[in-house]
Amino acid sequence: RKVISNSELDPDCDIAELVIESLDVHADVFFNGAYLGHQASAFYPFKKDVKEFVRPGDNELLIRLTSGLETVSDADLAEIDHAVCTELGNGCADRGDQRRAFVRKPTYVYGWDWCPRIGTCAIAKNAYIDCLTSAVIRNVSVKTVEAAVNAKLSLTAEIELLDIIKTADADVKIKISKEDKTCAEITREDVLLCSGLNYVHFDLNIEDAELWWPNGMGGQPLYLIEVSVRCGENVNTWPAFKYGIRTISLDTARTDAKNRRFMLVVNGKHIFCKGADWIPADSIYARVTPEKYEELILEAKNANFNMLRIWGGGIYERDEFYDACDKYGILLWHDMMFGCSTFPDHLESYRDLVGRELDYQTRRLGSRTCLALFCGNNEDHWIFTSGGFPQVHIRHEKQYGLYISNNMMPEYIRKNCPWVPYWNSSPYGGEEPNADNIGDVHHWHACMMNPDTALRIEPKEYDKVQARFVTEYGYPGPCPRESIERYFDGKAIDRNSKVWSLHNNTFEKLTVNAGIKKHYTGRTLDFDEYLLYSGMTQSLMLGYSLESIRFKDFCGGGLFWMYNDCWGEVGWTIVDYYLRRKISFYGVRRAFEPVKLILREIDGKVFVMGCNDTDRDISFKLRTGWVAFDGSGDDSRRTDVTMPARGRHILHTFDVSGHDTLTGVYYAKPEGECIHPAVLRAADTRDLKLCPPRVNIVSAKNEGADLLIDIKADTFCHGVYLDTGAGWKLNDNYFDMLPGETRSIRVYGAAGKSFALKTLLVG
């Protein structure tokens, strides 16, 4: 119940439009006792003209909300045969309540392997009344036609004339500016508006345009777009918004008789998409603050991401999320909110409900700079194959939700934002979804979810990936101690307790301990050692696998599961619920460096892949060869190489020359460039005959608010880290060093502090 003062309303307006941006989920809305209607979706706003019900003094808005589950019967569930995938969640069989398929709200709230069941019921966003007169701008869409020095934009203003009987004359104005400098301005005078909707189109040229690029490939300049309509004495303005000039397309061209590309093209350049899957940032999603969105997207940028995939079991995020992605250069693969289920799209009422959602969200998001691709769903096509329910026979009249993705989504995209690439599902492509040769894959069953634990914990399994684009796979690891103490709420941390079990991912069991034993040590570990070694193992698995995927020049992207948490947990992420970096953050950050060397051995030769996301060619002298762990022997050569801008290329190959890979390492080290060296992983760290590590801090100085520390290694050193605790952020940590290598580490905001330098004990 909300009381609204009459003083807030303009008595001369034509309509007083009540807008409630999100109701979760079944809602009956009353205004001053008048029943306004029923809302059955959290994914589009409730709107109603309430002018006739406004009274002097205070006005009362009353909303009756329910979760919506009570409306679904067993007979309803029988209509869709199978409601959800059968993989177990965190104490919730079948990933939550099967009735979720009928209710248009975030489905993750009923439980997954990475979150508990916390069913939501809420007025989840803003509620307000708009007083509108004469002509109203209902939407503005913008498209980059040509991304060049003299850029071309196409803009359409959707204007509603509220008078249902008469025409009216209007002036429509467009202004585009950057840093208070006007770059384009057009006024269309004496436009004839007819009752209802009108579409006024503009073609604009931006001279000396600055192009928007994904993170690591260039800058993210944003232009301010302002649109207004004057009708008589009344002026209505669309909220000013920022826009980056760029083109995005999806290249699915055939490459040979069997394969097709699956690569995004930004401003005419093929890119490799680097990132992870995004889930809602809180189990109670309405309480995520703008500041939390900002911090999470900034950390994605800091991890060298250029993409996040909005997973289809969550929410269409609030505007602040998309603003941050625009600002920091994070492209979005955007699932629609259908995930891991069949859906009753054979019901006309359900299609109508979903149609309103799709229309609203494609209009709302279609002009977002960060939006790279709309995707119909998460795993809904896959569940009808060997990955799910092969026994279900799909009839045309009963498509179990696939009609939404196959037919309705293409229709709404063509109507509202035809410039946005569309993909039916994830995974999807080929004769059966999850095929390597066409489209994208979820790389779970070959590795992390394989019944054979040995395959789950073997990094080199990822060298076998042949996918055109990887949109899901993962490996679990723990939060920092500070976060675990937070959700234990003062109680002693006990890994056998109920609290630990509730905050522990299903897939942590057995796998994490097996990974520690394989890669590092079989001895009994105390709690802090468990956190350190399991964090290092997660970092290894994610870092190595992402390098393997990036090494395949035919692969268009590597996205892992998952980036962020909705509550505190030992689980898949690299940034935890409390916004603390896990150890694995740094392994992922190194794998995604904009300028990166990757080594892999193929048929007795070591291939040096150079990845250069930047806009300039980089030439340098490259030293390659083998060095003993103790630095006593170095068999290497120097070669001149060039890394072409915005590409991936094999820079050099050299023979495996018979050196002992248990007492030394093959490497590639740039000279004269600030590019980290790369090493060839020949065996599990535990099996290497490492010498005692010798690494020291050679200097420490303050640089502004930061602490800058120079480190030098005399031997090969594994797992070098500054023991700062989770309260500090560094440009790198938990890394390897070659004999003779020096490295500068920046601890942000730590001027005047001192920290111990440590290495990981192996064996």
Task: Specify the DSSP class assigned to residue 92.
Answer: -
Closest by Cα among 691, 685, 734, 761 to 459: 685
pLDDT 10s digits, 27-62: 999 999 999 999 999 999 999 999 999 988 888 999
Is the model's pLDDT at 89 over the cut of 50? no
Q: Tell me which of 2 and 100 has the higher pLDDT.
A: 100
Mind listing the pLDDT tens digit for each residue in 127-153? 999 999 999 999 999 999 999 999 999
Residue 541: enclosing H or E segment and its boundaries? helix 527-551
Interatomic CA distance for residues 275 and 262, integer angstroms: 16
Please write the tens of the pLDDT for every residue from 486-529: 999 999 999 999 999 999 998 888 899 999 999 999 999 999 99
Checking if the pLDDT of 5 tops 70, the result is: no
From 126-130, 138-142, 238-242, 600-604, the region with the lowest mean pLDDT: 126-130
Distance CA 342, CA 664 (A): 53
User: Are residues 252 and 260 in contact, defined by beta-carbon separation less than 8 angstroms?
Assistant: yes
Tell me the pLDDT tens digit for each residue of 618-662: 999 999 999 999 999 999 999 999 999 999 999 999 999 889 999
| Residue carrying structure tokens 């709404």 | 412
Cα-only R_g, the chain: 28
The average confidence (pLDDT) of the chain is: 94
> 583-591 and 527-551 are packed helices; what angle lies between their axes, rounded to 10 degrees?
10
DSSP 506: G
757 CA to centre of own chain: 33
Query: When comparing pLDDT for 129 and 88, which is higher?
Result: 129
Token pair of 198 as six digits: 């009108």
pTM of the model: 0.96
Which pLDDT value is given to residue 392?
A: 53
For 47, 152, 643, 672, 673, the CA distances from 594, given in Å and listed in that order, are 46, 29, 12, 17, 13
Confidence of residue 220 (pLDDT cuts 50, 70, 90): very high
User: What mean pLDDT do residues 111-134 have?
Assistant: 93
Q: Which residues are within 8 A (CB) of 419 and not within 5 positions of it... i.e. 6 or more apart? A: 143, 144, 248, 366
Q: Check residue 88 and give its pLDDT.
A: 40
> Judging by beta carbons within 10 Å of its beta carbon (0-12, 13-18, 19+), is residue 525 exposed, middle or buried?
middle
Sheet (strand 742-747) strand order: 695-703, 706-713, 742-747
Tell me: pLDDT of 395 over 70: no
> DSSP class of residue 405?
I
**Alpha-carbon span 115 to 571, nearest angstrom:** 10
Angstrom CA distances, 147 to 142, 207, 473, stand at: 13, 11, 34
Q: What's the CA gap between 443 and 657, in Å, rounded?
A: 34
